[in-house]
Amino acid sequence: MTAAKVAGEAARSAPIDVRFIGDLPGCYVLSSREGAGADAIKVFGCRSRSISVDMAVLQAPVQGAVGENIALKLDDLGLLRAIITRHTSDGFVVDLVVPEDERAALAARIDWMKRRHLHDIPDRRESRRWMPRNPVSSLILAGGKQLDCFIIDVSTTGAAISADAMPPLGQPLAVGVMLCVVVRHLEFGFAVQFLSPQDAQKVEQLLSPPQQERSRLLAKTVNSAEAVVASPHPGATRRAANAQQLPGSH
């Protein structure tokens, strides 16, 4: 039997109620943002914590409205259409819109992911980058503006962030209690570099949202760093440039 026939038989025999529970990174577009202006953020990073052929539970930085359509792209599953059905504390739940003739094939892919995950669970801390256990955090920008954000991945020197903002390159900011500098723009977010390398065992805790009093102190620090970057004084310019050129950027 050919590989194509085997795949076809697997798709036809796959259980339709199969579910994968685990981390599955991806991105999404809200239908309300598709016609927005050029300055609006349209693509956001996310993580599926549970998915079946009928629904998915997503961690995400921007929730959208209940009943809103989204285009969802997940690793190993490709592009999916969905409708937001309810909000959660760190994202939302969607019903997947899957044509009847594609449901068995999607179930087969989910079942394959489930079996692979059970036999090959990586230790992401051994990798240069990994997905944090809790990807939901907060972002403090110059001026004290604070936003929810989603940590796509993290390393000991920086992180990839998705939020309803796209700070300019060189912009100082805080993610959790970590002071950072924006070093690169991504398809659905931006990369930040920590001011110094961090311990892999502690960095996730430092990226957790700060308490209110700590937030105020961080906002003052970010504003001071922004003033240094904006200063025309040659020494300040050099210090800002050095902050952007720390070794080991994310």
DSSP state of 1: -
Judged against a pLDDT cut of 70, whether residue 111 lies above it is answered with: yes
Q: Comparing 230 with 158, which gets the higher pLDDT? A: 158
At 237, which helix (H) or strand (E)? helix 234-244
**Predicted confidence (pLDDT) per residue in 8-64, tens digit:** 554 455 455 688 988 999 999 999 998 777 778 999 999 999 999 999 999 999 999
Closest CA to 152 of 59, 52, 51, 55: 59
> What average pLDDT does the segment 225-237 reach?
60
Q: Comparing 217 with 106, which gets the higher pLDDT? A: 106
> What average pLDDT does the segment 76-83 reach?
95
CATH 2.40.10.220, applies to 18-121: yes
For residues 126 and 60, give the distance between their C-alpha atoms in angstroms, rounded to a whole number: 25
Range of lowest pLDDT (18-27, 110-119, 228-237)? 228-237
pLDDT confidence of residue 119: 59
Residue 115's pLDDT band (cuts 50, 70, 90): confident
pLDDT confidence of residue 16: 59
pLDDT confidence of residue 17: 65
How is domain 136-244 classified at the CATH fold level? Thrombin, subunit H (2.40.10)
Global pTM value: 0.77
**Predicted confidence (pLDDT) per residue in 117-165, tens digit:** 765 545 444 448 899 999 999 999 988 899 999 999 999 999 999 999 9
- Are 85 and 93 in contact, with CB atoms under 8 Å apart? yes
Look up residue 37 and give its two tokens. 């202006």
* Residue 14 backbone dihedrals phi, psi, to 5 degrees: -65, 140
DSSP state of 40: S
**Predicted confidence (pLDDT) per residue in 172-215, tens digit:** 999 999 999 999 999 999 999 999 999 999 999 999 988 877 88
pLDDT confidence of residue 249: 39
Closest CA to 172 of 230, 124, 234, 110: 230
For residues 59 and 47, give the distance between their C-alpha atoms in angstroms, rounded to a whole number: 5
> What average pLDDT does the segment 73-100 reach?
96
**Predicted confidence (pLDDT) per residue in 24-34, tens digit:** 999 999 999 98
Using DSSP, state whether 100 is helix, strand or coil: helix
